[in-house]
Amino acid sequence: QIEAMTMADRVAVMHKGKVEQFAHPQSIYEKPASLFVAGFVGSPAMNFLDGELDGSGRFTTGGVSIDISAYPFEGARSRRKAVLGVRCEDVSVVERGAPESIPATLAFTELLGADALGWFDCLGKRFSVRLSIEAARSAEREVGLHFNIGKASFFSEETGQRL
């Protein structure tokens, strides 16, 4: 995967004998065409939350409603069950209870040299968050996670395709 992402002008991601996406490597990373591609490309894999789009620019999951008006595609404006996908570098740790945040509990951190990964339990799932070394050392256990919705991905729960 690393060689394909760093050396190729275009990459084909295949699943069960079918091309899921054929595009420039950065496009695949930033705008995966399906849940499979989003979970397959990148390390760590994209974080996912199941929820519902309410048709008025909000995504609800686990009793928390998040403003998604910054999401750049109209498919997110329909009323439907959906999956929110967000990369570890597009998640911020905030004070628990902060507006537009999801409650989470720090499980552990991995120091990676220049930075770190924090692993948080969030609504029954394990979320990865890229942290500075300083943030990893001083991380509170009970926090909120805030998502950069402009960089997030939404997928149809029914088809797994990007909205």
Q: What is the pLDDT of residue 89?
A: 98
Per-residue pLDDT of the chain (163 residues; tens, 9 = 90+): 666 677 778 999 999 999 999 999 999 999 999 999 999 999 999 999 999 999 888 999 999 999 998 877 776 678 999 999 999 999 999 999 999 999 999 999 999 999 999 999 999 999 999 999 999 988 789 999 999 999 999 999 999 999 8
Here the contacts of 128-135 (C-beta below 8 Å, separation 24 or greater) are 128/44, 128/45, 128/47, 128/88, 128/91, 129/88, 129/91, 129/92, 129/93, 130/88, 130/89, 130/91, 131/93, 135/93
